[in-house]
Chains A and B, each alone.
Chain A
């Protein structure tokens, strides 16, 4: 791939471009404009009807799109809510770098929360297994942060096409005071009329990207020139093979098996999380069109790269009931 094309890629986050020329709103309405408008409607609705919303910011591509939609929704004002990142301390270093740049660049209020208790006990994915680790460092941490901030609504970037159990998830998802999801107690959603009435001690998770697919996300990132973490683009990175997945050796906390040696491979990530739990794809795609080209040709669901979902069947469902997003 020639340098001319790679130039556009935000290898350092700062290289990201400004929004493109004003849209011609007259032109035939594309599905992306319609999805965008519907998501903005949801974000504004929550800001209007809830006392203390917060937007989850997980640094990934979906979060980047959701944050852009929030910026659009209230422009020229800043979004009237803070952004929350649950830092497990096991994120890729480039993610943290990007996060700090992103918040500053856009003048956003960023809350970073880590489960201090878990940190003290050195809870990690290697010694405790991905399930227990996720429960303590993600689910618990999230609940701590939500209750500490007194938030009554939390935006999440989940999409319904991510995996099967989400297909029936509502846009407003009601949780009891322990953050638990009661699937028997969800409300029907008609038109664009969302029922935001809460019982005491209830709060909601809101998914403004519910109707977006992975392809929509990439197309939109391309159309809008939205900066994303460079890990999404292929580059030679040190990896080891674990349970059939390429795991990046992002720092020296990953215990290597005897004789195991990191190798350099051209890889990129379709989804970003904690580096020891996130499988990389072998790829040479270094531009958005190339990534989208691969997407259109590929036949693997994006969660196949996430080790956490393989733990048990219907694992997302179980996690969600516990309070995971």
Chain B
């Protein structure tokens, strides 16, 4: 193995170039016989991605088939496995040039295409779709593009293959480009590039070919080496899903994670989710020493200036860019398992470093993969794609997948068999405006929660004052509203309109309806502190309320008063009901007894509680 002699300086220079390469992940898709194996084999072969011993094995096999080199054989090994019934979702291939290292996700299997392609696409920077020049844009091609877009691949390249069989006819190529462009306009790619190629002959694969003088773009490899991917990373929103707590001794507590997005610097203010405690970055530690700042996707360790309680599954963020905190959201699922979705069952959900139990509240629709239209359905089966509403036990910290491929993605796990049954991308919070379908541009609020918070000096909150009729809930609500106003805050009282002496005398202790909860949510979205004075007698009903609003902005206060006081205040009601139905809150944030305290004193307690929860911004 004598090497071609290179000088040390030459080697060192080459080394530096290799050490500074970028990494690009590519998923290659095509229908059977479009030439996918041939194209990948070409790329590997022509970039020295195959070794001599592999090459001679392929040459031997090719000669048997009467060819010089059958490039498709470099990536076989999957064909045999398919015959043995082995499920392979993706095979990975590697090659590199001096500019970039490439990881190709090669997704075989025709029956399970959706599942396989979704797997390969989940991490891809670039999707490469093959189209047979003779056949043009088929239903399949559209489907592939749709899945690529769903999984958030930013850049798409379309290789129009077998150009040698259509005499390198420019019109054929142009027609395919036009067809495809029309369709792709509905999808979400940053850019779509078309390359006329012959994988078999090697035209426009590595080198530009002279056979298409009318084509001015790059070869496939030229494109792959230059398509700009650095800007695709979300470097705006700092998301740090804590993975592991490092405690070598009592004086060090480091929080280890892979930065999911954004950038962090020493001294940055930090908001801890879900506790909403505030602190600062004391240091960013690595094996090589501390650094001033770090950005996604590096794995680092943070220490904080305060002794805050942080564990795996929590998320550290910047207070001025907070993700959605909600346990309900709408998502698109790719179903990956033989057993169809069972809405009666609970599943495990893994998102960032959180693992928790979820239910599928509703199956909204399934995408017909031929028409790409949504249609109603009962369930989702293997390789189906559909939209669902998910409810988790605890709030998740997420961003819509469109904005953040790390915090907007999840997998579902069968809680009995433990298999991975679905991949999901989050569309939006379920209770959020425009949850039914994505809001069109301009139809959602242009004011961010952070801006509201800055203007109002508070964040939105719903305080449920729950208690029996006549306990004094509404009186307390107005007392709290006055006190908040006096301190420069903005509140809104929402009650059942069933106050004694009010228009309608109560017949039942009132439960806030969906419409009432919707109003509260909107008010809280707008940054108001809602004082919701409702009997809210059932525990399930209160949980529903908490879920609709989001538990991080929901506070339950139990309001009590002695029977005499209640009777006096709601005599009509108590004349008819001796023991009204009421399940007292199991774990209210506070219990106030309006027999023992004045409304004003109770209101002060509530405002203090809000203060402790960090509802008011320091000014």
Q: Choose one: B78, B256, B405; the contact of A44 (CB below 8 Å).
A: B256
How far, in angstroms, from A212 to B48 measured CA to CA in the complex?
16
Contact B87 A183 (CB under 8 A): yes
A111 within 8 A of B: no
Q: Choose one: A23, A26, A292; the contact of B11 (CB below 8 Å).
A: A292
A75 within 8 A of B: yes
B409 neighbours in A (Cβ, 8 Å): 190-191, 193
B226 within 8 A of A: no
Can you name the residue of chain A whose Cβ is closest to the Cβ of B409? A191
How far, in angstroms, from A197 to B15 measured CA to CA in the complex?
41
Contact A193 B286 (CB under 8 A): no
Q: List residues of B (285-303) whose CB comes within 8 Å of A's CBs.
A: 285-291, 293-295, 297-301
How far, in angstroms, from A31 to B355 measured CA to CA in the complex?
29
Q: Choose one: B20, B81, B123; the contact of A191 (CB below 8 Å).
A: B123
B19 within 8 A of A: yes
Stretch at the interface among B92-100, B176-184, B591-599: B92-100
Q: List residues of B (75-107) whose CB comes within 8 Å of A's CBs.
A: 77-78, 81, 85-94, 96, 100-101, 103, 106
A138 within 8 A of B: no
* Chain A residues with a Cβ closer than 8 Å to the other chain, count: 81
A222 within 8 A of B: yes
Contact B230 A28 (CB under 8 A): yes
Contact A216 B101 (CB under 8 A): yes
Contact B86 A183 (CB under 8 A): yes
A135 within 8 A of B: no
Interface bin, chain B: 35 or more
Contact B405 A191 (CB under 8 A): yes
Q: List residues of B (365-407) whose CB comes within 8 Å of A's CBs.
A: 405-406
Q: List residues of A (281-319) whose CB comes within 8 Å of B's CBs.
A: 281-283, 285, 287, 289-290, 292-294, 296-301, 304
With A23-B286, A34-B297, A44-B243 as known contacts, state yes or no: A298 contacts B15, CB within 8 Å: no
How far, in angstroms, from A222 to B12 measured CA to CA in the complex?
11
How far, in angstroms, from A36 to B297 measured CA to CA in the complex?
10
Stretch at the interface among B50-58, B316-324, B440-448, B517-525: B50-58
With A168-B78, A197-B413 as known contacts, state yes or no: A30 contacts B286, CB within 8 Å: no
Contact A21 B23 (CB under 8 A): no
B88 neighbours in A (Cβ, 8 Å): 168, 183
How far, in angstroms, from A289 to B559 measured CA to CA in the complex?
76
B14 within 8 A of A: yes
Contact A72 B287 (CB under 8 A): yes
How far, in angstroms, from A32 to B17 measured CA to CA in the complex?
12
Q: Which of A5, A37, A190 has the most CB of B within 10 A?
A: A190
A40 neighbours in B (Cβ, 8 Å): 258, 299
Stretch at the interface among B2-10, B164-172, B465-473: B2-10
B423 neighbours in A (Cβ, 8 Å): 188, 190
With A74-B256, A193-B410, A211-B92 as known contacts, state yes or no: A293 contacts B11, CB within 8 Å: yes
Contact B298 A25 (CB under 8 A): yes
Contact A211 B258 (CB under 8 A): no
Q: How many Å from the CB of A301 to the closest CB on chain B? A: 4
A250-288 CB contact bits vs B (8 Å, 1 = yes)? 000000000000000000000000000000011101010
Q: How many Å from the CB of A163 to the closest CB on chain B? A: 9
Q: List residues of A (20-54) whose CB comes within 8 Å of B's CBs.
A: 20-26, 28-38, 40-41, 44-45, 47-49
B413 neighbours in A (Cβ, 8 Å): 195, 197
B18 within 8 A of A: yes
- 9 interchain pairs (CB within 8 A)? A19-B287, A28-B22, A30-B19, A75-B285, A190-B420, A197-B418, A222-B19, A223-B19, A289-B15
Listed in ascending order, the chain A residues whose CB lies under 8 Å from chain B are 5, 19-26, 28-38, 40-41, 44-45, 47-49, 71-78, 160-161, 164-165, 167-168, 183-184, 186-195, 197-199, 210-211, 213, 215-216, 219, 222-223, 281-283, 285, 287, 289-290, 292-294, 296-301, 304
Beyond A29-B22, A165-B77, 18 additional pairs, beta carbon < 8 A:
A25-B294, A36-B299, A37-B299, A44-B256, A74-B246, A75-B287, A76-B254, A160-B94, A161-B94, A188-B90, A188-B119, A190-B118, A191-B405, A197-B348, A199-B417, A282-B2, A290-B3, A301-B54
Listed in ascending order, the chain B residues whose CB lies under 8 Å from chain A are 1-4, 6, 8, 11-12, 14-15, 18-23, 48, 51-55, 77-78, 81, 85-94, 96, 100-101, 103, 106, 115-116, 118-119, 122-123, 230, 243-244, 246-248, 252, 254, 256, 258, 285-291, 293-295, 297-301, 312, 336, 348, 350-351, 353, 355, 405-406, 409-411, 413, 417-420, 423
